[in-house]
Amino acid sequence: MKDRVLSGMQPSGYLHLGNFAGALKNWVRAQDIYDCFYCIVDWHALTSNYANPAPIADYKRDMLINFIAAGLDPSKCTIFLQSVVKQHAELHLLLSMITPLGWLERVPTYKEKQTEIKDKDLNTYGFLGYPVLQAADILIYRARYVPVGVDQIPHLELTRELARRFEFLYGKGILIEPEALLTESPKVAGLDGRKMSKSYDNAVYLSDTPELIEKKIRTMMTDPARKRRTDKGDPELCPVYALHKIFSSAEEIGRVAAACKTAGIGCIDCKRILINNILKELEPLWNKRHELINNPSMLDDILNEGNKRAAAEAEKTMVDIREAMKLS
């Protein structure tokens, strides 16, 4: 029996190279090793976008298409939509009974996001409970591993604490404490050098046309010290180089770094190499995307099938939980 893995991704924007290189590629690798459940967490997207839910439908669809186009194989893993598997909401409610408020207020992302995101009112019950919903996503599948980035460690720690508290209160060996699967996912630099993110408007999207990608990289920030072609640069200060590290070969990375330091290469040529490598890597994904977009019933079938498998697993755990909490 393979170990169970669960991970989730929030459909709060179109997928970009950061999601692709940072998470999705790891998910594709994991499907051959583990019994993987991959969840499109649309309820989580609502916690911060409740005032404007309309675009979420498009984001979900784009996400499903990209999951499959990037290589997730529905015969190897279970791809499903959170809001269809109502058991997540039931467990979220039941876990909320045993979640001390202090635990939630202490989660760093809670305060951080509230100060960082000023155009939305995140002073809500749903947003405070975000990590409880995430814990429900994970615990309901009795997942052993959760592939996530370091930013998610506090959420996973809370999940483990909730599993322990549940077992302490009702303990029958129903829930297991999951572990983070910290894949060394690269920090993907955005066009302005900050982390690639929809909210910074610095992202290259998987749905961008090749022409648009080329334009975005051509106008991308470089090491500010290289104002003229003859100025020497420091690749470590350049977001273009950060993308080379993800999309170029070891040989090219070494060559570009050395040439940058000696002004042996110009930024235009350096970017040309990167553009070609990104386009080469994304080409099979675009072909697959094209196929899928023209075949919506295949997408529906994949999702329906995944939803069914997930609901069956989730219901098994809920039967035990209802009994432990004297609800059956």
Binding-site ranges for ligand SF4 (CB under 6 A): 222-223, 226, 233, 235, 238, 240-241, 256, 260, 265, 267, 270-271
Binding partner of residue 260 among ligand TRP, ligand SF4, none, CB cut-off 5 to 8 Å per kind = ligand SF4
Residue 113 annotated among the catalytic residues of the structure = yes
Cβ-based nearer residue to ligand SF4, 129 or 239:
239
Residue 195 annotated among the catalytic residues of the structure = yes
Question: Residue 151 pairs with which residues in a beta bridge?
Answer: none
Question: Are the CB atoms for 216 and 275 separated by under 8 Å?
Answer: no
Binding partner of residue 145 among ligand SF4, ligand TRP, none, CB cut-off 5 to 8 Å per kind = none
Alpha-carbon distances of 81 from 64, 97, 134, 298, rounded to whole Å: 9, 25, 14, 16
Instruction: Write down the least CB distance from residue 227 to ligand TRP, Å.
Output: 38
Q: Helix, strand or coil for residue 320?
A: helix
Cβ-based nearer residue to ligand SF4, 16 or 226:
226
Residue 86 annotated among the catalytic residues of the structure = no
Exactly one of 113, 245, 261, 288 is catalytic; name it: 113
Cβ-based nearer residue to ligand TRP, 198 or 261:
198
CA distance 47 to 40: 14
Of all residues in the shown chain, the one whose CB is closest to ligand TRP is: 8
**What is the edge-to-edge ordering of all strands in the sheet holding 4-9?**
78-81, 35-40, 4-9, 145-147, 179-181
Cβ-based nearer residue to ligand TRP, 143 or 256:
143
Binding partner of residue 138 among ligand SF4, ligand TRP, none, CB cut-off 5 to 8 Å per kind = ligand TRP
Binding partner of residue 233 among ligand TRP, ligand SF4, none, CB cut-off 5 to 8 Å per kind = ligand SF4
Backbone angles phi, psi at 33, to 5 degrees: -105, -35
Binding partner of residue 238 among ligand TRP, ligand SF4, none, CB cut-off 5 to 8 Å per kind = ligand SF4
CA distance 192 to 196: 8
Instruction: Write down the least CB distance from residue 72 to ligand SF4, Å.
Output: 33
Cβ-based nearer residue to ligand SF4, 40 or 256:
256
Cβ-based nearer residue to ligand TRP, 24 or 238:
24
Question: Are the CB atoms for 200 and 190 separated by under 8 Å?
Answer: yes
- Widest distance between CA atoms in the chain: 75
* Footprint of ligand TRP (CB under 6 A): 6-8, 10, 41, 44, 134, 137-138, 146, 148, 152, 155
Exactly one of 76, 187, 198, 288 is catalytic; name it: 198
Residue labelled with tokens 């302490």: 168
Binding partner of residue 222 among ligand TRP, ligand SF4, none, CB cut-off 5 to 8 Å per kind = ligand SF4
Instruction: Write down the least CB distance from residue 284 to ligand TRP, Å.
Output: 25
Question: Are the CB atoms for 305 and 74 separated by under 8 Å?
Answer: yes
Question: Alpha helices, DSSP H only, in the chain?
Answer: 17-19, 25-30, 42-49, 56-69, 87-97, 101-105, 108-116, 125-128, 130-139, 153-170, 210-218, 239-247, 250-261, 267-293, 296-324
Exactly one of 187, 195, 245, 308 is catalytic; name it: 195
Instruction: Write down the least CB distance from residue 263 to ligand SF4, Å.
Output: 8
Which residues does 149 contact at the CB level (< 8 Å), separation at least 6? 22, 23, 182, 185
Catalytic machinery residues: 113, 195, 198
